[in-house]
Amino acid sequence: MTNFSDTICAPATSVGTGAVSIIRISGPGTLEVLDKLVVFRSGTAAGSRGYRVKYGSVPGLDEVLVMLFRAPHSYTGEDAAEISFHASPYIAAQLLERLAGAGCRLAEPGEFTRRAFLNGKMDLAQAEAVADVIAASSEAQHRVAMNQLRGGYSAKLRSIRSQLLELASLLELELDFSEEDVEFADRSRLRGLLDSATARCRRLADSFRLGNAIRNGFPVAIVGAPNSGKSTLLNALLRDDRAIVSDIPGTTRDTVEETCVIGGVLFRFIDTAGIREASDEVERLGIERSFRAMGQAQIVFGVVDLSASPAILEAETRRILGRMDAGSQKLVLLANKCDKSGFNKNVNVINEIVSSSDYKDIDAIVLEISAKKGFGLEKLRSVLPELADPGASGGDTLVTNARHAAALRDAAAALAAVSDGMDQGLPSDLLAEDLRTAITHLGTITGQISTDEVLGEIFSKFCIGK
């Protein structure tokens, strides 16, 4: 079993990838360990105040800079230090070996952040956000993760939870006066707070769809008939020959996925098999996957061949529109190969179909492009972030963690049970029980209610040194 009173150490940077590497130390023996390891130019680590940088040397190994932090004013809330040294794998290995000999043990994955949580430096939601900040590869990911790390998300949860705790305490107080038939919790106020808390929990849970897309990439399905230019479009957007392009219809038999950051937003492009009457079993399976990918995407690129006959173009356009979910998806109909056809009536055919009453509920735009020649692609890249619209919720908090979304849904369900119980005239003890259940679910997000098993699962996914 992990002993969190040990003094721990771990690399905080990748060794050999830059000029300087860092090893972190935390725990009650940090300062003593440093004085065993480093000969400082002046004074000692134990005799220094926190927030100081001391120059010294590790005999026979390297010159180092040591940043000192005194408890509780450190990342972990313990005495801590960071040793900066030349980024040599040999030096790093020797330093870790000497630190072990001086009384440190190698930290487990996420142990620094776990100690920060256990010492009250951050709650569990903020601790989980640390990993998201590190993993962020786009501006939108970074912005959402930083909001959570700074406590904006946790503040909303605490606000909901504190209201529910007050109501639960009043309901439970009524139990002590059950014979007097006294109601301390005003039922009209209780109903209003319940409705408000339920709506807030559901709104946060519903934001997971957008938050998860920002975290893992907005899924964009590229669909259309064979040889309409889907794979050429994917390659053009990625600026790489990722998908095989051929004049032979049905070249793409399976989905091909790649991610790309455009306008500060991460997108997950899914090139699919051409949609037509399948010629064999393998192609049929590929087309089924195309429809499945289309159904799961938040944005759909419907690629149609502008040089085809109006009848074929209308059929392909309607096929794509007929598969759209008007309530949750956005469609970009891409009139491809405009370099071949030039200006013709086919663009008007597409626009008339899209604007017809049959498809008035579908959120769609039409763009003329040439995936092969690059025409219209910059326009497409410019509208993509607007379609994803990671800022659609303004300053609102987004849930990016599936565990949190599940807990919020469970909390909302428990609060709905309280509301139903009030309608049925259930006694205070049963109402209080459901209310406490909702409070428990919210507490699991911030770590006010947690188990070692849950904590172990969360922090095991962190890198060593964080």
CATH number at residue 114: 3.30.1360.120
Q: What is the pLDDT of residue 395?
A: 47
Q: What is the pLDDT of residue 282?
A: 59
What tokens appear for 330 in the block? 């956005």
Residues 228, 372: one domain? yes
Does any domain span residue 264? yes
Residues 40, 115: one domain? yes
| Tally of domains within the chain | 3
Range of the domain at 294: 212-388
Max avg pLDDT among 178-192, 274-288, 429-443: 429-443
Residues 342, 298: one domain? yes
Does any domain span residue 202? yes
Indicate if the pLDDT at residue 368 is higher than 80.
yes
Q: What is the pLDDT of residue 277?
A: 57
Indicate if the pLDDT at residue 243 is higher than 60.
no
Q: What is the pLDDT of residue 413?
A: 95
Indicate if the pLDDT at residue 35 is higher than 80.
yes
Q: What is the pLDDT of residue 226?
A: 83
Q: In this predicted structure, which of 1-10, 105-114, 290-299, 378-387 has the lowest mean pLDDT?
A: 290-299
Residues 234, 257: one domain? yes
Rounded CA separation 35/168 (Å): 53
Residues 254, 305: one domain? yes
Indicate if the pLDDT at residue 188 is higher than 90.
no
Q: Are 16 and 88 in contact (CB under 8 A)?
A: yes
Q: Are 75 and 116 in contact (CB under 8 A)?
A: yes
Rounded CA separation 46/58 (Å): 17
The predicted-structure confidence for 226-237, as pLDDT tens digits, reads as follows 888 888 888 888
Q: What is the pLDDT of residue 29?
A: 96
Domain termination site, one of 92, 121, 150: 121
Residue with tokens 């980024």: 87
Q: Which residue has the higher pLDDT, 68 or 426?
A: 68
Going by pLDDT thresholds of 50, 70 and 90, the confidence category of residue 181 is: low
Each as own residue / partner, the long-range contacts of residues 450-455 (CB below 8 Å, 24 or more positions apart, any chain) are: 450/124, 455/114, 455/117, 455/124
Q: Are 300 and 270 in contact (CB under 8 A)?
A: no
Going by pLDDT thresholds of 50, 70 and 90, the confidence category of residue 174 is: low
N- to C-terminal Cα separation, the chain:
19
Q: What is the DSSP string of 227-287?
A: TSSHHHHHHHHHTS--S---SSTT---S-EEEEEEETTEEEEEEE-PPPSS-SSHHHHHHH
Helix (H) or strand (E) holding 20: strand 20-26
Residues 117, 202: one domain? no
438-453: average pLDDT: 88
Say what the alpha-carbon torsion angle 210, 213, 215, 220 is, to the nearest 10 degrees: -150
Q: State how far the alpha carbon of 423 is from the alpha carbons of 172, 318, 436, in Å.
A: 19, 48, 18
Residues 197, 216: one domain? no
Does any domain span residue 457? no
Mean model confidence pLDDT for the chain:
85
Indicate if the pLDDT at residue 24 is higher than 60.
yes
Other beta carbons less than 10 A from residue 334's beta carbon:
29
